[in-house]
Chains A and B, each alone.
Chain A
Amino acid sequence: AQSVTQLDSQVPVFEEAPVELRCNYSSSVSVYLFWYVQYPNQGLQLLLKYLSGSTLVESINGFEAEFNKSQTSFHLRKPSVHISDTAEYFCAVRLLGGSYIPTFGRGTSLIVHP
């Protein structure tokens, strides 16, 4: 079975500073990887995903994540954060083939201070 570990439960950062939210996964087979963002009292929104091809994937709002197979990681980065990026971020993994139900990490709360 697959598992997802988000090492940081909370990441405080100042506005315009860079940020990295860490995600590691465990799986014996190939996986699809996702990052979701959740604003207070809302559902999850897909931020970006890795299915195949280039290991660096980008979102439209400046976030990027890099799939590192050897380190089984899919860390999320942004070079300069905004106040509006304050939210909960979830990493998720889904197996290629087999069960199509994703497994979510416990989430990382990104808090951007002015």
Chain B
Amino acid sequence: GAVVSQHPSRVICKSGTSVKIECRSLDFQATTMFWYRQFPKKSLMLMATSNEGSKATYEQGVEKDKFLINHASLTLSTLTVTSAHPEDSSFYICSVREGGANYGYTFGSGTRLTVV
């Protein structure tokens, strides 16, 4: 299956600053990537679908101006949390949809964001 690299694995930032999280598909050209947010002991919440070369599709209730997504190439999507607040602290995970008959999804290792 696809190999997905997510960086950084952990980041601590001050309130009001911005943080960029990278998601790379190492061996697969991904036209679509997904960004999830996971709260403690909760399931994954889909935040947005990242589309290569076009605007991301955000889920209802997700602020697109706060969570900026850029998918400039077939192997890289970035999520930037702007003007971070402590309530943005969470575990963020990206995912790539594998093509063909596999119908599976490969996930990055996640990024633990802590805003202080």
Interface set of A (CB-CB < 8 Å, partner B): 9, 32, 34, 36, 41-46, 49, 51, 90, 94, 100-102, 104-107, 109
With the chains together, A45 CA to B110 CA distance in Å?
12
**Shortest beta-carbon distance, B108 to chain A, in Å?**
5
Q: Does B49 contact A (CB under 8 A)?
A: yes
Residues on B with C-beta less than 8 A from A100 are 97, 103
Interface set of B (CB-CB < 8 Å, partner A): 1, 4, 6, 9, 34, 41-44, 46, 49, 91, 93, 95, 97, 101, 103-110, 112
CB nearest to B4 among chain A residues: A43
Residues on B with C-beta less than 8 A from A94 are 103
Pick 6 A–B contacts, CB within 8 A, sort by A. Answer: A32-B103, A43-B6, A43-B108, A101-B49, A102-B105, A107-B42
Residues on A with C-beta less than 8 A from B112 are 41
Given A36-B107, A49-B104, A105-B43, output 15 extra A-B contacts at Cβ < 8 Å: A9-B41, A34-B105, A41-B91, A41-B110, A41-B112, A42-B109, A42-B110, A43-B6, A43-B95, A43-B110, A46-B104, A46-B106, A94-B103, A104-B44, A109-B41
- Contact (A51, B105) CB under 8 Å given A101-B49, A105-B43: no
With the chains together, A45 CA to B103 CA distance in Å?
14
CB nearest to A105 among chain B residues: B43
Q: Are B43 and A107 in contact (CB under 8 A)?
A: yes
Candidates B43, B104, B110; contact of A34 at CB < 8 Å: B104
- Contact (A49, B103) CB under 8 Å given A41-B112, A43-B6, A107-B42: yes
